[in-house]
Amino acid sequence: MSSSFSFRGTATALVTPMHTNGEIDVDSLKHLVEFQITNGIQALVPCGTTGESATLSHPEHHHVMDIVAGQANGRVPILVGAGSNSTREAISLTQHARAINADAVLSVAPYYNKPTQQGFFEHYKAIADAVDIPIFVYNVPGRTGSNINAETTLRLAELPGIAGIKEASGNIPQVMEILRHRPKNFIVLSGDDALTLPMMALGADGVISVVANEIPSLFSTMVQLCLKGEFENARNIHERILDLMNLNFVESNPIPVKSALAMMGIITEAFRLPLTPMSLEHKFQLRRALDELSLVEHGV
């Protein structure tokens, strides 16, 4: 069955800008939202992995949701990160997303407690039963320690309220199985920038992207070319930005992307422990990749 929510394109997994004292930098967050929208991004995703949701308190989580939704002001859809390894907590975060009229939520698979496949199914079913909002499952076993297999994803796709999945397993055969058997309106989004082009060649609908923080216009152009079937032109962009996409994960996300945005003059380079600043060696490599794209101290 799946949700009636419809989306094709690029959604940016927003960083959460901070001051050097660790507090949320509201002005920079608003500026980042404007930078994204004016450069043609199709949706915004605050409070996800890239937004350091693991170290945001619940009031801060709500605050970031409110800022992004308010600044966007209906110009693009907002898919709020609202996941937890506690089903009750995930429901609570999803209820707040519904209260601020978010368009959908992105709900990470429960981590650390490593549910069975039936546990994954019951977790998402409980959220969908409790809150009337489109839900995107987020499968990222490299972070959570457990994989939601294709069979479970396809079971979830039949539930009202489950709109789609952000697939970041890196398992192309698994993605192919989902794409092959999904219901008509079930949305499949890449959760890995470097795999976006191949996944879209197989039929995926778009991406929730890290690199779009830095290059919203260029990356969105690549995705739109994929949607039009112009894969040779899309591949030219993919090859041009591949070094930057890879360097965004040379250290734990969002360390590199926040460092890059600071070099571009968009945010201050600040993190919350246990995340720490990027090594000088990696920072040099990142600066070189940004220079090659003419991104330092200005965005495109």
Residues designated catalytic: 138, 166
Which strands sit side by side in the sheet containing 162-167, from one edge to the other? 43-45, 9-13, 206-209, 187-190, 162-167, 135-139, 104-108, 79-81
Type of residue at 234: A
Give the separation between CA 25 and CA 175, rounded to whole angstroms.
37
Q: How many CA atoms lie within 13 A of 276 on its CB side?
A: 4
- Omega prior to 254 cis, within 30 of 0: yes
| Closest among 257, 254, 274, 278 to 266, alpha carbons compared | 257
CA angle centred on 178, ends 175 and 183, rounded to 5°: 150
| Closest among 266, 267, 260, 232 to 246, alpha carbons compared | 260
DSSP assignment letter at 163: E
Give the separation between CA 293 and CA 277, rounded to whole angstroms.
23
